[in-house]
């Protein structure tokens, strides 16, 4: 059974599970320095946790910026990738932010660009390095 929970970081139980996924994916797997992964935007962000049979397997967040709605910190545990589960999480987030009527954007790692293009995002500008990883700015068409 798939369940997606939306929460704020004051829900310490759900937030700690999301942080554990982010730690495994970004800090351990991708070698992102912890001080870059855990930024000052946790309080203002809307967080999500995707559970499969009550097991937390993916997380994401979004927040309002001067440029619109920024989607961030999409992370799925490696053993659950390429099974279509991430699309469910992304669709839920997109549904939730669709009512704002503003630009929806993200910084996509190079390897994720084709995935985001398939769901309607397009690259804007040149490739850039963020946390030592190549990215593109992408906006939802």
pLDDT of residue 38: 84
Q: Which region, left, alpha or beta, applies to residue 105 given φ > 0 means left and ψ of -120 to 50 means alpha?
A: beta
Query: What is the pLDDT, as a whole number, of residue 60?
Result: 98
**pTM exceeding the 0.85 threshold for the entire prediction:** yes
E strand or H helix at 97: helix 85-97
State residue 53's pLDDT score.
97
CATH of the domain at 102: 3.40.630.30
Nearest CA to 133 out of 42, 32, 38 is that of 32
- The per-residue pLDDT for range 70-129, each reduced to its tens digit, is 999 999 999 999 999 999 999 999 999 999 999 999 999 999 999 999 999 999 999 999
Q: Provide the domain limits for residue 104.
A: 2-140
Measure CA 4 to chain center.
Answer: 13
- The fraction of the chain above a pLDDT of 90, given in percent, is 95
What average pLDDT is seen over the chain?
96
pLDDT of 69 above 90? yes
pLDDT reported for residue 135: 98
Q: Look at the chain and report how many structural domains it folds into.
A: 1
């Amino acid at each position: 059974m798939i369940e997606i929970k939306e929460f704020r970081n004051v829900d310490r139980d759900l937030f700690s599970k999301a942080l554990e996924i982010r730690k495994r994916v970004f800090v351990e797997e991708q070698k992102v320095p912890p001080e870059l992964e855990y930024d000052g935007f946790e309080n203002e962000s809307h967080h999500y946790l995707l559970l499969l049979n009550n097991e937390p397997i993916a997380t994401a967040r979004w927040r309002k910026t001067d440029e619109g709605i920024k989607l961030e910190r999409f992370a799925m545990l490696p053993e659950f990738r390429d099974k279509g589960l991430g699309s469910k999480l992304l669709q839920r987030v997109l549904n939730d932010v669709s009512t704002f009527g503003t630009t929806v954007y993200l910084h996509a790692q190079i390897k994720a660009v084709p995935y985001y293009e398939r769901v309607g995002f397009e690259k804007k500008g040149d490739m850039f390095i963020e946390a030592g990883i190549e990215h593109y700015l992408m906006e939802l068409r």
